[in-house]
Amino acid sequence: MTQRLTLRRPDDWHVHLRDGPMLAAVAGYTARQFARAIVMPNLSPPITTVAAAETYRDRILAALPEGHGFTPLMTCYLTDDADPQEIVRGFEAGVFAACKLYPANATTNSAHGVTDLRAIRPVLEAMQRAGMPLLIHGEVTDVTVDIFDREAVFIDRTLTGLVRDFPELRIVLEHITTAEAAAFVTAAGPHVAATITPQHLHINRNALFAGGLRPHAYCLPVAKRERHRLAVRAAAVSGSPKFFLGTDSAPHTIEAKQSACGCAGIFNAPYALESYAAVFDEEGALDRLEAFASLSGPAFYGLPVNQGTITLERAPTVVPERLGSGNTSLIPFHAGEQLEWRLVG
Ligand SMILES: NC(=O)N[C@@H](CC(=O)O)C(=O)O
Ligand SMILES: [Zn+2]
Ligand SMILES: [Zn+2]
């Protein structure tokens, strides 16, 4: 049995670091586990300009402890009136690593998202020419579509056409949750990839209702049936460079989660690597964790792999019931559970 695992320093290709006191509370957890992270722009108001991304990046760096060695990779939130020039200028200046497409009202802080892809065709054309990645929250917002089908329907109604019309556009289907998404990405060309969260590898939709309503298991896209979890797991451990790590760590205050209308989002940053390691271990695929966590993401984004390594040790780790204090007290993913791996440095 493998007892120690040393990997190139990994990156998180999808994280919500928030702003203000919540940023201060959570940034260190991500910086402790990852060298770089793609930081989601769904603040209120969203990050839509180069200037806003630069000042947000400064606030992230200011929230980190001395000597953190962490690089936030900033993203631009697409709206119907997104400006292709501003976006490409930000990409070429090294401020924007990618653009994020939220279908309007699909998820947290997506009210300003795109209502009709036709509105952003000039942006997509400019991104395709520049080689700038498009990151997609892939769910339809049509309320007549069952919530558990919204990802699969998005693939049929939107993504298939997008990939056909923009064959050179680099696309990441974020936080995939279905067998359909895994199959679509596998079958698509090398410009199409996907990120996978820890929660969608660990839980199926039963977790939302285990003995009662479980707000801390609620995120979007919502966890699906077991057969989908198994398909997403198979994709993650397949060794395919199209599937890589993106935690989608999405902290909300306890009050916002434990509410009559609770927010979507699972806070998984503190034990993300331990959580992924558990999955790769259970699947007999620990030898593929490095590709998933540290190699395939940089390859897709055209960035160098990180210098240095991290080490995971087989040792029981009990995840606390709660982290932090006051207004930024948070319930982490796996709260109160034991994971069999520990990040030792
Ligand atoms: N994943 C979530 O459930 N929530 C995210 C938004 C998102 O990534 O869709 C958030 O910002 O809270
Ligand atoms: Zn999302
Ligand atoms: Zn997200």
Q: pLDDT for 245-260, tens place per residue?
A: 999 999 999 999 999 9
Per-residue model confidence as pLDDT tens digits over 67-119: 999 999 999 999 999 999 999 999 999 999 999 999 999 999 999 999 999 99
38, 43, 220, 267: residue to mutate for ligand 1 pocket, most atoms within 8 A of CB? 220
Sheet of 96-101, strands arranged across: 12-15, 36-39, 71-77, 96-101, 134-136, 171-173, 192-196, 243-245
Distance of CA 291 to the CA centre of its chain: 17
CATH number of the 4-343 domain: 3.20.20.140
**What are the tokens at 220?**
């979007």
Q: Which sign, positive or negative, has the C-alpha torsion 264, 199, 266, 291?
A: negative
- Spatial CB neighbours of 64, under 8 Å, sequence gap ≥ 6: 27, 28, 31, 70
- Residue 341 pLDDT exceeds 90: yes
Q: How high is the pLDDT of residue 115? A: 96
Catalytic residue among 149, 248, 281, 287: 248
Lookup result for tokens 């204090």: 325
Confidence of residue 6 (pLDDT cuts 50, 70, 90): very high
Contact 70, 31 (CB under 8 A): yes
Summarised one tens digit per residue, pLDDT across range 212-247 is 999 999 999 999 999 999 999 999 999 999 999 999
Task: Indicate yes or no: pTM above 0.95.
Answer: yes
ipTM of predicted assembly, 2 dp: 0.99
Contact 323, 330 (CB under 8 A): yes
Which of 20, 11, 5 has its CA nearest to residue 327? 20
Share of the chain above pLDDT 90, in %: 99
From CA 255, how far away is CA 339, in angstroms rounded? 26
pLDDT surpasses 90 at 269: yes
Average pLDDT over residues 273-290: 98
Q: Is the pLDDT of residue 345 over 90?
A: no
From 335, 110, 43, select the one nearest 215 (Cα to Cα). Answer: 335
| CA 10–ligand 1 middle distance (angstroms) | 21
Say how many Å lie between the CA of residue 109 and the centre of ligand 3: 10
Whether the predicted pLDDT of 293 surpasses 90: yes
Would you state the pLDDT for residue 236? 99
Average pLDDT for the chain: 98
pLDDT at residue 301 is higher than 90: yes
What type of residue sits at position 33?
Q
Atom of ligand 1 nearest to the CA of 137: 9
Beta-carbon contacts of 103 under 8 Å, excluding residues fewer than 6 positions away, are 110, 113, 114, 137, 139, 140, 141, 154, 158
Binding residues for substrate: 16-18, 42, 137, 220, 252, 264
* pLDDT of amino acid 175: 98
> Would you call 287 a catalytic residue per the annotation?
no
In order of 66, 146, 180, 204, the CA distances from 227 in angstroms are: 44, 17, 11, 9
Task: State the amino acid at position 343 in one-letter form.
Answer: L
Which string of DSSP letters, residue by residue, matches 28-76? HHHHHH-SEEEE----SS---SHHHHHHHHHHHHHTSPTT---EEEEEE
Q: Binding site membership for Zn(2+): which residues?
A: 14, 16, 100, 137, 175, 248
For residues 46 and 253, give the distance between their C-alpha atoms in angstroms, rounded to a whole number: 19
**Residues 33 and 275: beta-carbon distance below 8 Å:** no
Among 71, 55, 75, 179, CA closest to 135: 75
